Amino acid sequence: MREESILIVEDNEDFRGLVRAALEQEGFTVREACDGQEALARLRESGSSHCLMLMDLMMPGMTGWELVSAVRSDPLLRNNPIVVTTAVPEEAPPGIDAILQKPFDLDALVRIVERHCTRVPQPVRAAAGAADRAAPPHY
């Protein structure tokens, strides 16, 4: 059985961590990469096990545009959905499946991920405290 997960590709460590925490709280399995080279290496070492790549465009080294091109030209990876997170959606490259415009809220993030991924059952957690019930943050 194949393990599906989300690969977050983002050079901003704080932003990457916030998105990861939000998606894991919703029951998704999440992995991270800080740039295009690391993302491509993670994808290739795991075959096509990532069901979705959620990625920034502006990154040092291999840019998001270059990463999309590399993934779409790889026979093992080309069918994985790609969602670009960007403040400038007009600059998104061809070959992506969706755009999530920054800033975005948790509900929008979860909706777009749900279109492409399934959740992994998570252990039942204790009842949420008041802080856990706060309005969803914008990422």
pLDDT tens profile 41-81: 998 887 665 679 999 999 898 989 999 999 999 998 988 89
Is 17 inside any structural domain? yes
Is 102 inside any structural domain? yes
Is 131 inside any structural domain? no
pTM for the model stands at 0.80
Number of domains into which the chain is organized:
1
- Residue range 76-116, pLDDT digits in tens: 898 889 999 999 999 899 999 999 998 999 899 999 998 88
* Domain hosting residue 78, numbered range: 5-118
Is the model's pLDDT at 125 over the cut of 80? Answer: no
Is 110 inside any structural domain? yes
- pLDDT at 51 (0 to 100): 75
Is 23 inside any structural domain? yes
Is 63 inside any structural domain? yes
The 3-state secondary structure of the chain, one letter per residue: CCCCEEEEECCCHHHHHHHHHHHHHCCCCEEEECCHHHHHHHHHHCCCCEEEEEEECCCCCCCHHHHHHHHHCCCCCCCCCEEEEECCHHHCCCCCCEEEECCCEHHHHHHHHHCCCCCCCCCCCCCCCHHHHCCCCEC
Is 68 inside any structural domain? yes
User: What band does 118 get if pLDDT is binned at 50, 70 and 90?
Assistant: low
| CATH value at residue 55 | 3.40.50.2300
Is 133 inside any structural domain? no
